[in-house]
Structure 1
Amino acid sequence: MDRREVRKGRVLQKKSKLELLIYIATIIFSVLFLFIGNSVATKGLTVFNGDDFGETVVKAKIEAITDRISDDYSLAGDTTMVKNVQVTFEATLLDGEEKGERVTGTQIIDGMLNIGTPEVEQGDKVLLVAYEGQPEMEWQFMEFVRTDKLLIFGLLFILALLVFGGIKGLNTILSLVFTCAAIFMVFIPAILSGKNIYLSAIVICLYTIVATYLIINGFNKKTLTAILGCFGGILVSGILTIIVNRVLELTGYVDEESIYLTYISTGTPIDLKAIIFAAILIGALGAIMDVSMSISSSLWEVKEKSGATSFNTLFRSGMNIGRDVMGTMANTLILAYIGSSLSIVLLLSAYSTSLIYLLNREMIVVEILQALVGSFGILFAMPLTSFICAIIYKENSERIHDEPSVKIE
């Protein structure tokens, strides 16, 4: 083994140790971010403790059905029969202060409102609610417990990631956990406690970009260029959202849920326009990250395999790759938004007397805006990532051609 190979081996060994330290530091930083961010976001938050609603919600298991009353009737001038059902049951409480006790509860199915709601059966796990101020605790059926089965489905997804992705799949799971935790432990509580929604959304996006890339791909040139390109795409999306909000004179009242948000008692009234801003940014983040990493990784392979190191060659290659990815990513955003609101779109289409009125409804406008602004973010991330890659990869073209990624495999 000559000196050149020995020196190269030592360089790679030192680099691997440094990258491992950065990987561990990213995990530690993510944990600290979640705990510190949660403590700041939940300061003064009282929404989740149920004090404002005067209700107690517990999980229970149905032990026996004791009674069932059915009432059939028809509305005036209508021959269609409507059935109301009241089911009385005994259940064992599975959590709460009275855990283990056997209680009596009722399920009321209104034929006009609960179309298709199944009746409880023995062995079902349900959520029961009791309202304060009553002489005795009267437990009422609230909802079926679905999280247990959903957890099984999630475990199957995790297993598939591990089988097909190996260590990379494990890192993917870890990044997903941190991303979801950041949303539900930091971002959501921050909104409900009256914090600045614009700032909270930006912080969450920046954290998600950096943490996800570093955990999955490690600290290297590919990650650096993808992070910078993604920052640019998100910045463009954010600026466009603010501008379009003003131009289109949006109010933020896109549906009934938006109206209910204004009734929540927070230190500062929830800014519904800021909610639109956050929804667009977070909704477009995944697609922009995908495009940035696809271009960055592809250009590195072009540089390594073909020896193409000139700025013009790398930039043109990045633009060609970006054009291929651009169409599918734009379709991904548009189809995702249409699919998530398909029922509402169908309802509005069926009961709208004018197509012009339908297209100008704020709910529809916001859905279109989300897809367009997200697509603009993809479009701008494409040349920006290509430009940054061409600069960084070109400047390092004469160095040792070693693999830049963290190999925790």
Structure 2
Amino acid sequence: MNVIVLLAIILFLLMTVVGGKKGIKSFVSLFLNFGVFMFMIFFITNPDMNPIYITLIASVFIGCINLFYINGVNNKTVAAFISTMITILFLLFLIATVTKYAMIQGFGEEEIDELGVFSLYIGIDFTKLLASVIILGTIGAIMDVAISIAASMHEIYKHNPLMSRKDLFTSGLSVGRDILGADTNTLFFAFFGGYLALLLWFKDLSYTFGEIINSKIFSAEIIGILCAGIGVAIGLPIASGINAYLITRKREKQQA
């Protein structure tokens, strides 16, 4: 049996046993997200399309799949979705500015030999494409933070329904501080795990530390990690504020 199929079956069985119906939905969402990515690639390769706009639209669909399809439409998922979209909009402005002035778009000299036989005139703005790549690499972490904060704050409010909006917001931030360290380290190790072979290659080529830091490939990934970390950090107060507002507003309406 094909190894990929075998691993997929094992993953499906484990997600079903551990997660039940939500586990099955989570497994199906992998294929739905893959479909979104395929449509996204199809539109991005069109020179008349702006990759950043396509990425924003794709982010909406990805958010709906991972939040509403898996967990249903409720106060937690609505708050998490709004928090995710607002955070991405803030982050998009930062990423567009950074990628413009960092001059890291395109290919590095390490990739020249592999690309020598291909045409580089593909009609795509690599600056915007890089911004799209960073957003896609970040949206998972942002959604994870948003739904974690939403679930935690709703549980806190459930056990203490008389909490003020300010206290609820503070509690959300307190939970978020624990999440922040874990998520940023996850992004860090994901980079070094995926690019360990590249770092070993740099070592074999006797690259100096300065040459590694200034390498276009390395710089692009580091900037992606930093932007993702900034997105997570921005998302914490945004998610806490939105959840605190929506939760207390619902209570105020019930009391009115």
Using structure 2 for the length normalisation, give the TM-score. Answer: 0.90
Written as runs of structure 1 = structure 2, the 5 A alignment for 1:110-125 is none
Aligned structure 1 segments of 4 or more residues deviating by more than 6 angstroms: none
**Contact 2:55–2:135 at 8 Å: present in 1 too?**
yes
Per the TM alignment, residue 259 of structure 1 is displaced from its structure 2 partner at its CA by: 4.7
Please say if 1:230 is aligned against 2:84: yes
- Percent sequence identity is 26
What corresponds to 1:151 in structure 2?
A: 5
Matches within 5 A, 1:186-225: 186-194=39-47, 195-225=49-79
Kindly indicate whether the alpha-carbon contact (under 8 Å) linking 1:162 and 1:169 is maintained by their aligned counterparts in 2: yes
Maintained 8 Å contact 1:236/1:376: no
Q: Residue 308 of structure 1 contacts residue 314 of structure 1 at CA under 8 Å; is this kept in 2?
A: no
Q: Matched residues in 2 for 1:206 and 1:150: separation?
A: 29
* Cα separation, 1, equivalents of 2:191 and 2:178: 22
How many Å apart are 1:295 and its aligned residue? 0.3
2:129 is the counterpart of 1:275: yes
Residue 292 (structure 1) aligned with residue 146 (structure 2): yes
- Contact 2:100–2:127 (CA under 8 A) maintained in structure 1: no
Is 1:244 the counterpart of 2:92 in the alignment?
no
Greater length-normalized contact order (CA 8 Å, ≥ 6 residues apart): 2
Equivalents in 2 of 1:262, 1:390: separation in Å? 53
CA RMSD in angstroms comes to 2.1
Cα deviation digits, residues 260-296 of structure 1 (max 9, x gap): 7972675xx1222223112111111111100000001
Asked if structure 1 preserves the Cα contact closer than 8 Å seen for 2:16 and 2:24, the reply is: yes
Match of 2:36 in 1: 182
Structure 2 equivalent of residue 66 of structure 1: none
CA 1:340 to 1:261, structure 2 compared with 1: closer, same or farther past 3 Å? farther
Report the counterpart of residue 369 of structure 1 in structure 2.
223
**Structure number with larger C-alpha Rg:** 1
Structure 2 vs 1, CA of residues 346 and 308 (structure 1 numbering), >3 Å: closer, same or farther?
farther
Matched residues in 2 for 1:369 and 1:275: separation? 14
1:360 corresponds to 2:214: yes
Residue 263 (1) aligns with residue 119 (2): yes
Distance 1:332 1:232, change over 3 A: same
Deviation at 1:367, TM superposition (A): 1.0
When the two structures are superposed, what TM-score results if normalisation uses the length of structure 1? 0.58
Distance of aligned partners of 1:218 and 1:373 in 2 relative to their CA distance in 1, 3 Å threshold: same
Runs of 5+ unmatched residues, structure 2: none
Q: Counterpart of 2:251 in 1: which secondary structure? A: coil
1:181-217 per-position Cα deviation (integer Å, ceiling 9, x unaligned):
1112x01222334332222211111210122211111
Specify the SS of the correspondent of 1:263.
Answer: coil
- 1:224-267 per-residue CA deviation (whole Å, 9 max, x = no partner) reads 1101111122223221111111221223223528957972675x
For residues 323 and 368 of structure 1, what CA distance do their matches in structure 2 show? 22
- In structure 2, the residue matched to 1:92 is none
What is the rounded CA distance, in whole Å, between the counterparts of 2:98 and 2:121 in structure 1?
A: 29
The structure with the greater share of residues assigned to strand is: 1
Q: What are structure 1's unaligned runs of at least 5 residues?
A: 1-146, 401-409
Q: How many residues get paired?
A: 251
